Structure formats: structure tokens, C-alpha cells
Amino acid sequence: MAKVAFLGLGVMGYPMAGHLQAAGHEVTVYNRTATKAEAWVAQHGGAMATTPREAAQGADFVMACVGNDDDLLMVCTGEDGAFSGMSNGATFVDHTTVSAMVTRELYEAGQTQGIAFVDAPISGGQAGAENAVLSIMCGGDQAAYDAAEPVMQVYSKICRRIGDSGAGQMTKMCNQIAIAGLVQGLSEALHFAEKAGLDGRAVVEVISQGAAGSWQMANRYETMLDDHFEHGFAVDWMRKDLGICLDTANETGASLPVTALVDQFYKDVQKLGGGRWDTSSLIKRLRALD
């Protein structure tokens, strides 16, 4: 068993850290809002720290699941950041979805200090974190990944190294690009069924068994039909992720016309007051056009 620090106890990090503690790892948590860390310790045991540096001291692995590029930089290299407390030979595993540029910057910073850095963004949503069935896509040195994989397996159903530093983040971008188009297509199909006077549930029962079937259809169609969007990955966070995808596409020369369009549709959802609705709320935009 390892000594692990976990930085960031949001809807994903909170259960992920809990799984590590339940598996027998020695876990110390840090959260910017200390009351969340206090609640986690009360529920799971373990220990809490007041700074990332304090949490990272003596840890074999430091896992992070925070909000964005700036948040990650703060917990890594900011004042009292984790890098200043990590020992030579320790491994930092970043589960945040951030830009590949920041990932490579932190990888290089870690190299100068003898710290391994693995970018390991996650997919599967809150339910995946709670049920320990996340998909984890990783970038970084093979040796660092091999060391960290047994720890990550505690809360994943698949964990795979895709390539060198930044490859995990690039793969997460592929994930978000694919989801954006799928959710828009599902929204249009359900909206069309409603306008045509069809029973949406009967429609999905049939088409989900054929080529149109998807995870989004199986897990979101009922709540979409019921106009319920208070769960899952928020629109605000999806727009952050799609912004990273579009910026990176400009750098690489990739063409993402559908992704760019769906990003603007999510902007419309935000204007409807849906920034905290989950991503399946694209159908709300279509209904608002009626």
C-alpha cells in the first residue's frame, strides 16, 4: 500500500479519494474549501492538510482533480504548492482536464526536481467516480505510469498509457469532441420525436438496439425526455473543455466544425441559465426555439 495525497475533493475527487482509503492506502486530502476536507475525513478516515505542500510531504503519489489550468498550476507550483513538498522519486498524477501545454510545462518542471508527472484525465462522470469505473487516459514516461497504474486501478475500469507527456490530455480532447456530437444528435432525435407526436421512450427502445445506440442514449434519454438536467457533467465545464479542444485544433491544424458549432449551442444553454445543467441539456435549447 502507498502513501497518497489527494488534492481536490469535488464531485469526482471526493469519491476517488474515498476508494483509495478503502483500498488500504494511507491518504491525506487537501481541498481549497477546508470544510469539504473535514467532511471527507469524518466519513472515510485518513488525514487532511491545510496546503498542497503539506499534503504532498512524504507521499509516494500525489493525485490531483481540480478545475482548470490555473487551479492545477496553483496546487503544483504556486505558493505552498505540492511540488515544493514532494520527495525526489515521487509521482504526481493529474486527473484534471487541462491543456496539453500546461501538462508539458509541469512535466518539465517535475523533471528538474526529480518528480515524475503523469497526465491522467478521466471520463465517466460522477457516477463513474462513485462506482469506481472511470476510464483513465494517460500520458508520461512508461516507468512513471507503471508505478502509478496500480493506484489508479482502484477507481477505474480501464486505465491505459497512450503516449508521452500530453497524450492523455489529447485523448481526453478526443473524448469530449465525440461526446459533443453525440449529445447534439441525441437531442435532435428526441426533439424530432416530440414534434412528430411519437412516444420518445418507445422510439429509443427500438433505435437503441441498432446502430444509433450509445452510452449517452442509454443513460440520458429518460432524463432528457423528463426535462431533468440536475446531474452529470455541467455545461460550464464542457465549454471549458471544448475551448481547450478548439484552441488545440488551431495549433495542430485539425478541423472541428461540428465541435465548434456545438460549443456555440452550449453557449446558448448558458444564456438560458443552464451553466450548471448537465451536458444533455442541449435539448433545452431546441425546445426554447419552439
Name which of 5, 16, 31 is nearest 129 in CA terms: 16
Active-site residue identified among 172, 195, 240, 267:
172
Annotated active-site residue 172? The verdict is yes
Q: Which residues contact 64 (CB under 8 A, 6 or more apart)?
A: 6, 7, 8, 72, 75, 76, 82, 92, 93, 94, 95, 96
CB proximity list for 44: less than 8 A, separation 6 or greater:
17, 18, 21, 22, 27
How many of the other CB atoms lie within 10 Å of CB of 266?
Answer: 24
Q: Which residues of 160-190 are buried (b: 16+ CB within 10 A; e: fewer)?
A: ebbeebbbbbbbbbebbbebbebbbbbbebb
C-alpha cell at 193: 420525436
CA 162 – CA 252 distance, rounded (Å)? 18
By residue count, the chain amounts to 290
| Closest by Cα among 287, 272, 275 to 235 | 275
Q: Which residues pair with 28 in a beta bridge?
A: 5, 47
- List residues with catalytic annotation: 172
